[in-house]
């Protein structure tokens, strides 16, 4: 058996070929007759040089495209990457009553002290930090919606140190994207979007931004996964192990060509810090949103007007379907689909020339189609296929009308419950004031954490707001309990929670016990 040293075995056949060629050339050059004839010696030395050049080329090819440094890329794109600082006026907390007993001799003293220093619930300023990047020389800046949501003032700081005030052009909470505009005296350096669909698992990527408020920073890694769906209808996340921390939100994820293929948005972490699982919204989603925000100041997504669910194996068997592909229509309220003749029980298998895989793919296909366009929709109805012509409406208008027509619910006293080691209470204006989160936030407020629980170990604390569980929104305790039951029924041992702290989102997976 041929023995090889570990280094040779690791370098592989190209290196072995290089070693053999080099040894052969040396052997020829050492021949007695080569030393005795100058012309022949020159010939063999020239041959040796060619062999060495060939070997170097083979070794370089074996190294592939791995970069030796990201410095040139950082120098080229960093002028377009910005830090974003926001200022928000937050209502102060009222000074608790009962500090001085009624009738106490100190009562007048404290009342006089408060009168001199103003009310105890005086508004205060709250600051937040994030990242962004310039996409045009006339000053359009992309960032995350959660970075600037509710801000009274937005300041954009450039790599050069220059600071400019920014105005909000438009936002899209569904994809967590916001478009800002700054006015500058000269054309600004900018970066362009690349094709996120061309990114492959294993490709090098570079993240830039303002992690933890430390200022401009660069981190590198690879694409760990593609097409991640975390919590939203239109999600298409690139997962990367490039370090992303709080403050990186809204910053760009670059490929090695210097094109933006993602917007850094969230991390999965039990501690709140980077553990190498970060998520960037894919550029092919972002560009469509940005184009609409730039043109209209808002998004305009197509609307089909149906309620749908995935086709499971037992449903497919019951309906005598060949596969589980498609989206099963469960309800057809008044809207475009009803006008086109769609019925409950239809299975949508093709939309505007593209096959429908499941409900998520259909929602994205419809949302990416222009409002007012008439499209062909192929449905399976009682074993036969039919083609319907549907003129799409606008989703935002439909959702607004549905909200306005919904009956106003009677306010109820918030109820608390202990779940997964957490004491949870539905959000309310009082809790929003107490824990300084946006009053319109919907979810469950953590009002207590068992310090012996897994939730405590993974960094959940009082004041955190759980807005989603199992990739579905939660507004009541019952919603969370339903998600837990669904996860157990599906055979899962943990539940993914979307937790917001000071507006910043992160995902935390908690174990679910049978007896919880």
DSSP string for 124-176: EEEEEEEEEEE-STT-EEEEEHHHHTT-SEEEEE-TTS-EEEEEEEEEETTTT
How many residues are recorded in the chain? 516
Q: What is the C-alpha separation between 286 and 177, in angstroms, rounded?
A: 7
The answer to whether domain 302-395 has CATH 2.60.120.310 is no
Rounded average pLDDT over 10-21: 46
Pairs from 318-325 (Cβ < 8 Å, separation ≥ 24):
319/347, 320/383, 321/347, 321/380, 325/349, 325/355, 325/356, 325/357, 325/358
Residues facing 134 on adjacent strands? 141
pLDDT at 54: 54
Buried (b) or exposed (e) across 244-275, using 16+ Cβ within 10 A? Answer: bbbbbbbbbbbbeebbbbbbbbbbbbbebebe
In this structure, the strands spanning 444-449 and 422-426 are: antiparallel
Burial tier of 276 (Cβ tally within 10 Å: 0-12, 13-18, 19+)? middle
The kind and range of the H/E element at 107 are: helix 107-117
- The tens digit of pLDDT for each residue in 177-210 reads 999 999 999 999 999 999 999 999 999 999 999 8
Q: Which of 143-152, 201-210, 399-408, 462-471 has the lowest mean pLDDT?
A: 399-408
Query: Which positions are annotated as active-site residues?
Result: 146, 176, 249
Output the known binding site: 87, 146, 176, 247-249
Q: What average pLDDT does the chain have?
A: 81
Q: Which of 267-271, 305-309, 427-431 has the lowest mean pLDDT?
A: 267-271
Q: Which of 117-126, 176-185, 220-229, 498-507 has the lowest mean pLDDT?
A: 117-126
145: left (phi over 0), alpha (psi -120 to 50) or beta: alpha
pLDDT at 462: 92
Burial tier of 126 (Cβ tally within 10 Å: 0-12, 13-18, 19+)? middle
pLDDT at 55: 52
Output the known binding site for substrate: 87, 146, 176, 247-249
Prediction pTM value: 0.64
Rounded average pLDDT over 150-156: 92
336 in Cβ contact with 398 (< 8 Å) = no
pLDDT at residue 377 is higher than 80: yes
Q: Which residue has the higher pLDDT, 147 or 502?
A: 147
Q: What is the C-alpha separation between 13 and 279, in angstroms, rounded?
A: 38
3-state secondary structure at position 502: coil
Q: How confident is the model at residue 19 (pLDDT cuts 50, 70, 90)?
A: very low
Rounded average pLDDT over 208-225: 90
242 in Cβ contact with 279 (< 8 Å) = no
CATH of domain 70-298: 2.40.10.120
pLDDT at 21: 44
Instruction: For the chain, give every domain's residue range.
Output: 6-63, 70-298, 302-395, 417-511
Ramachandran angles phi, psi of 481, nearest 5°:
-65, -35
Percent of the chain with pLDDT over 90: 44
Cα torsion angle, 458, 463, 468, 470, sign: positive
CATH of domain 417-511: 2.30.42.10
Burial tier of 319 (Cβ tally within 10 Å: 0-12, 13-18, 19+)? middle
**302-395 shares its CATH topology with 417-511:** yes
pLDDT at 11: 41
């Amino acid at each position: 058996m041929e023995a090889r040293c570990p280094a040779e075995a690791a370098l592989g056949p190209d290196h072995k070929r290089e070693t053999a060629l080099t040894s052969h050339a040396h052997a020829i050059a050492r021949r007695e007759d080569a030393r005795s004839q100058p012309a022949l010696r020159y010939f063999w030395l020239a041959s040796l040089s060619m062999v060495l050049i060939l070997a170097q080329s083979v070794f370089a090819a074996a190294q592939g495209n791995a970069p030796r440094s990201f410095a040139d890329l950082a120098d080229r794109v960093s002028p377009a990457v910005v830090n974003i600082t926001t200022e928000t006026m937050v209502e102060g907390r009222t000074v608790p009553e009962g500090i001085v007993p009624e009738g106490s001799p100190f009562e007048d003293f404290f009342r006089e002290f408060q009168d001199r220093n103003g009310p105890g619930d005086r508004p205060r300023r709250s600051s937040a930090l994030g990242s962004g990047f310039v996409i045009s020389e006339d000053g359009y800046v992309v960032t995350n919606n959660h970075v600037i949501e509710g801000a009274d003032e937005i300041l954009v700081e450039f790599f050069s140190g220059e600071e400019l005030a920014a105005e909000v052009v438009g936002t899209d909470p569904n994809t967590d994207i916001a478009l800002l505009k700054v006015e500058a005296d000269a054309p600004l350096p900018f970066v362009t979007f690349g094709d996120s669909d061309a990114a492959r698992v294993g490709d090098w990527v570079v993240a830039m931004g303002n992690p933890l408020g430390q200022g401009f920073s660069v981190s590198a890694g690879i694409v760990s996964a593609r097409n991640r769906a975390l919590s939203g209808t239109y999600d298409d996340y690139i997962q990367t192990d490039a370090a992303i921390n709080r403050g990186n939100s809204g910053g760009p994820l670059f490929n090695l060509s210097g094109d933006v293929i993602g917007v850094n948005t969230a991390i999965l972490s039990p501690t709140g810090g980077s553990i190498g699982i970060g998520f960037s919204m894919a550029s092919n989603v972002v560009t469509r949103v940005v184009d609409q925000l730039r043109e209209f100041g808002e998004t305009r997504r197509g609307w089909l007007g149906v309620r749908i669910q995935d086709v499971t194996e037992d449903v497919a068997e019951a309906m005598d379907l060949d596969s589980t592909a498609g989206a099963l229509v469960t309800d057809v309220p008044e809207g475009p689909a009803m006008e086109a003749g769609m019925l409950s029980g239809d299975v949508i298998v093709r939309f505007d020339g593209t096959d429908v895989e499941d409900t998520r793919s259909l929602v994205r296909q419809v949302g990416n189609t222009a409002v007012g366009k008439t499209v062909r929709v192929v449905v399976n109805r009682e074993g036969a296929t039919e083609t319907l012509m549907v003129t799409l409406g606008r989703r935002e208008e439909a959702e607004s009308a549905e909200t306005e027509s919904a009956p106003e619910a009677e306010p109820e006293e918030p109820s608390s419950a202990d779940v997964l080691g957490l004491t949870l209470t539905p959000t309310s204006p009082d809790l929003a004031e107490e824990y300084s989160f946006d009053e319109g936030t919907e979810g469950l407020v953590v009002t207590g954490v068992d310090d012996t629980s897994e939730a405590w170990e993974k960094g959940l604390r009082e004041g955190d707001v759980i807005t989603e569980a199992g990739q579905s929104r939660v507004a009541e305790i019952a919603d969370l309990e339903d998600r837990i039951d669904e996860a157990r029924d599906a055979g899962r041992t943990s539940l993914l929670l979307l937790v917001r702290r000071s507006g910043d989102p992160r995902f935390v997976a908690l174990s679910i016990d049978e007896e919880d």
